Every structure is written in structure tokens, then in C-alpha cells.
Structure 1
Amino acid sequence: MSAFSDKVKGNWNQLKGKMKQEYGNLTDDDLTYREGKEDEMIGRLQEKTGKTKEEVKSWINNL
């Protein structure tokens, strides 16, 4: 499991709240995290935020 996956899994509820505060158009469905499905979630976040994959990962890591 990557460091990104570890961070997301360990702090997911807090991260979801912060993400929704910054991007009010994110839904619970957009932020559904399932182990092994990070790419799907990142793709949904890319669509909603207009960020690249690396920008989304960096954004999450910095929350």
C-alpha cells in the first residue's frame, strides 16, 4: 500500500470534511473511498475540481 493510500485510509473522515469545505460541489458518492479503488476516486475528484491527478494527490496530502 502506498503512503498516499495509508494517509487517505487513516484520516478519511477528516479529509472528506475538509474537501467538502473547499469544494462544495463534492458529494459523498464522489468521496467514497474503497481500498484498491484510489484511481477511481481521484478521477472523480479530477472531474469536479479541474485538477490533474498529481494535483489531486498533492491537495489531499496537504489537507
Structure 2
Amino acid sequence: MNEDRIKGKWKQLTGTMKEKWGKLTDDDLRVAEGNAEYLAGKVQERYGLARDAAEEQVREFERSL
């Protein structure tokens, strides 16, 4: 799914993202609003991951859609 489609379905996807990354807050997801780089940064911060690992998790999530 490309980034434009993700942005268009962002509100529907936030529930799925909260299931996957329960430590993310509603505010985190609202601010991210389709920005994969920001989302990866928040995943990195909340879960104490290396940047590469967080980015890979976000890419895997995008591929799963």
C-alpha cells in the first residue's frame, strides 16, 4: 500500500497500529498522521529499539496492509 493510501485510511489504521504497538498514544498516532518516519521514531522511542529495527517494523506493517 503506498503512502498516499495509508494517509487516506489513517483513521481506520490507527486501531490496528495500537494493537501492534500498544505503547503508542493516541497523540503519537494523531501527530504521525501517515508519516512513516515519525511513526518509526515513536516506535523506536517507546520500545527502546534501534532506528533500523523500528523502521523495519513500520515497513513490515505497511507491507501487511
What is the TM-score with the length of structure 1 in the denominator?
0.62
- Counterparts of 1:34-49 in structure 2, within 5 Å, are 34=33, 37-49=35-47
Rounded to whole Å, the distance in 2 between the matches of 1:38 and 1:59 is 10
Tell me which of the two structures has the higher relative contact order, counting C-alpha pairs closer than 8 angstroms and 6 or more residues apart.
Answer: 1
Rounded to whole Å, the distance in 1 between the matches of 2:63 and 2:27 is 20
Amino acid at match of 2:9: N
Distance 1:8 1:45, change over 3 A: farther
CA RMSD of aligned residues (A): 2.3
| Unaligned ranges ≥5, structure 1 | none
**Percent of residue pairs bearing the same amino acid type:** 37
Q: Number of aligned residue pairs: give it.
A: 59
| Unaligned ranges ≥5, structure 2 | none
State the match for 2:8 in structure 1. 10
More helix by percentage: 2
